[in-house]
Amino acid sequence: MVTTVQNPLREGMTVQRTPEPSIMVIMGATGDLTHRKLMPSLYNLAVEHLLPNGFSVVGFSRQDKDHEDWRSDMRQAVDKYSRYAPVQPSVWDSFAQGLFFKQADFADENCYLQLKEMLDKLDKERGTNGNRIFYLATPPTVFPLIAEMLGKAGLVTDQAFGHGWTRLVIEKPFGRDLESAQKLNRELLSVFHEDQIYRIDHYLGKETVQNILVFRFANGLFEPIWNRNYIDNVQITAAEDIGIDRRGGYYETAGALRDMVQSHMLQLLTLTAMEAPVALDPNAVRDEKVKALRAVRRLRGQHVLQDVVRGQYGPGWVGGQHVEGYRAEEGVAPDSATETYVALKLEIDNWRWAGTPFYLRTGKRMPKRLTEIAITFKQAPLALFKDLDPDSMTPNVLAMRIQPNEGISLKIVAKVPGQGYDIQPVYMDFLYGSSFARQVPEAYERLLLDVMIGDSTLFTRRDEVEQAWEIVTPILDEWSHTPAPDFPNYAAGTWGPDCGQELIERDGRTWRVV
């Protein structure tokens, strides 16, 4: 079967990408991730005829289920979360024929030997040729154990020997700091080769994120001015209006810096700041991302206290409803010092960006859900209209919206119709929903298809993970022996604590009003 898809780096070009028949084994298959994201995304690919013939999914989890029980559970998940709901019976019937379940204990080697027998049988029955994807939808604490057991059971093969290929997909967090990330990488690489490991960050599957490189490098209009000479500052915002959604146990051990900045936000920074890759292959793209991370100036000691602020939300109002503070959430300590908000200023010490600050902010219980990259350009050198309303002479801002309403907008100033020279800001907008006559696919759809094909461009490489932790770990170290602010220090439904505003205002700038 031939699959024609759009390459995220080649605007206006199509490439032929043909997934080979394979089996995806979902470790922890009864969890929330499988129900909300993985199975609906796989079903959506089936609806669009993007799955290869014989493609199969094996759920591997502790719960006692048979094949039909799991198929019924997955049908309910797809009905609830698929963008193609309600389920199309003919598509589901064909898709469900490839769904199977194996009750297992992650620490029991016999379970993996039984899994191997099951996969070998499915290879013969469904023509999957020994091609296996192991998706670890489990707590990160068991990643090394599962990798070790897969190796012991002979479930990791080398394609060079003609026995099919093996790929491992792991979800963030990839460690808790630099040392633990390096340890995890060593443990995984003792069983798998680096090119077999797919570290997934769902932000990289979003259309606007994929489009950043196309926008930058396929348009001669912007690339010449994408540098310190024309850009005043870059602001990256990842705001959520929800709280921790019954994830208190996880969030208490993570916090906003680990949960959002180390992964999602630094990924957005690299795509914004990187140089053009020499080719459109996975390693060339990731080489440039790593170079951008290496150029980020490390913050230590007093610079952490000066350029990084943290906050925690208290009670407040969001969307017209009163909500409790973080410390009242389920699973959260009543005196918790975990941050739910982080803002920081980063400098990139290279030729393109020297002197141009990157401001990052993320938080829970903000006024709205919004993720965007805002590029603020420098003002024109001669203010011909300085005698007009000074508020009308706002700088040009290019905003790339990741969610919701994915798209790109450019703020310029224009003359108001009439006899005088009144001017005001206007916007040039591009929205995916209105510009293309098709639904925007879910991020996981793109990423799962890439795993099947073996395209690791949108996945994080080992050195990329470790470079990101090199930026974040010194901040964590400084916080570990510095008392947290007097939490809570911002009300739910606001844009964070006052110190977050002061961080950018002391440079004579303000956060973009969104």
Give the tens place of pLDDT for each residue, 145-188.
999 999 999 999 876 566 799 999 999 889 999 999 999 999 99
pLDDT at 388: 67
> Which residues are the active-site residues?
264
Q: Which domains, from first to last, does the chain contain?
A: 3-171 (3.40.50.720), 205-505 (3.30.360.10)
pTM of the model: 0.91
- Strand, helix or coil at 62? coil
13-22, 353-362, 376-385, 476-485, range with the lowest pLDDT: 13-22
The identity of residue 361, as a single letter, is R
pLDDT above 90 coverage of the chain, percent: 74
Higher pLDDT among residues 190 and 381, named by residue = 190
Higher pLDDT among residues 130 and 388, named by residue = 130
Categorize the per-residue pLDDT at 3 as very low, low, confident or very high, splitting at 50, 70 and 90. very low
Q: Which of 64, 469, 456 is nearest to 281 (CA)?
A: 456
Higher pLDDT among residues 33 and 206, named by residue = 33
| C-alpha pair distances (Å), 449 with each of 13, 114, 458 | 18, 27, 11
To 10 degrees, the CA torsion angle through 216, 219, 220, 224? -20
Q: Which of 148, 211, 141 is nearest to 176 (CA)?
A: 141
